[in-house]
A = this chain, B = another copy of it.
Amino acid sequence: MDFSSDTSAPAHPKVLEALARANAGNAPSYGADPETAALEARLKTLFETEALSVWPVASGTAANALALACFCPPTSAVLCHREAHIERDERGAPEFFTGGGKLRLLDGPDGRIPAETLAAELAGMDPSFVHETPPALLSLTNLTECGTVYSASEISALSRLAHASGLSVHLDGARFGNALARLGASPAELSWKAGVDVLSFGLTKTGAIGCELIILFGEATARFAELQARAKRAGHMPAKLRYLSAQANALLEGGLWLELAGHANAQATRLAAGLAGLPGAQLRHPVEGNEVFVTLPDSMARTLSDAGAKFYPWPEGGYRFVCSWATPDAAVEQFLSIVYPASR
């Protein structure tokens, strides 16, 4: 009954098999290997575009911070939601990688930035006012940090506003698969077709050991050499890059990643349905992916914890429960049997 995080799950067996395959013999270092070439080709097909460059890294913080740094000069700012992972959980990585850029925080219910909020913020900006730090970039997260999704049209609307003001658009897709599985949209529809210039495409939470893809789209591919240089000097150009690419290849093969993300979503939906019916419990956000944020009676939280369920209290209040590709039916059933002991 481990609902603490999708990062406490192991890697999917196919990822391990892929590593073993990639381990056959010597290969060029630093990304000049066949696995990485295959990954790029595979992504072009998956995202339905030739205008795409990719650099794999081993952590989501690295993916986000490198992506932001390629678009936000040190004299500029990134617009993001107050709850954004880049603001709350990356120990200042965006400020470090951008050389002292700022994050400017926007509010909005359920982790989403409303278009009117963005519009108002952009309208209030005066890039000619040298004392203030103007935004260069909009960063969205999908799944949001509240476990909700942005639809393709919502992202498009925000991107249009951003682009009209000269901002680029970054998407933190640490749980991109969960969003896609929920919406049934295509990867292209939820990224470049919706105006995303650079995507942090997370696979770690989906089932990798540690693999996040920084993907540049369209004109942003012109920044690939800069991205590589920044990755190198940040220690994110491991010599044997093939083992990162192999993880991604394994998960993307045959749509495994979407299947795994769908499973995680389904388990969270079951969990949420159970919790929602509990007297005194209240879902804090719609459950649209693999995360459940819920206010619980203290006694219930204690009972669950005592029974061995793992989960975290959340800074904004209530508790968070996360399901992963590896969450078995049995864990959900055991959990629900504790919540509803009468049903035993």
Contacts and interface: CB of A to CB of B under 8 A. Distances in A.
Contact of A239 (B30, B204, B228, B229): B204
Contacts of A74: 92, 96, 99, 233
A133 B89 CA distance: 8
A240 interface: yes
B59 A233 contact: no
A240 B7 contact: yes
A211 to B, nearest CB: 9
A299 interface: no
A130 interface: yes
A302 interface: no
Nearest to A61: B235
A230 B93 CA distance: 9
Contact of A26 (B91, B204, B326): B326
A107 interface: no
A295 to B, nearest CB: 18
A75 to B, nearest CB: 4
Given A95-B102, A204-B238, A10 B30 contact: no
Nearest to A99: B99
A73 B63 CA distance: 20
A16 B229 CA distance: 30
Given A16-B20, A89-B131, A91-B130, A75 B236 contact: no
A59 B239 contact: yes
A5 B29 CA distance: 8
B26 A240 contact: no
Contacts of A98: 100
Interface in A56-73: 57-63, 65-66, 73
Contacts of A101: 92, 95
A209 interface: yes
A11 B61 CA distance: 26
A238 B132 contact: no
A74 B69 CA distance: 11
A271 interface: no
A131 B92 CA distance: 9
A109 interface: no
A296 to B, nearest CB: 20
Interface of A: 2, 4-5, 7-11, 13, 16, 19-20, 22-30, 57-63, 65-66, 73-75, 77, 88-93, 95-96, 98-103, 124, 130-133, 204-205, 209-210, 226, 228-230, 232-240, 243, 315, 326
Given A10-B240, A130-B237, A210-B238, 5 more contacts: A4-B28, A8-B27, A102-B103, A130-B228, A130-B232
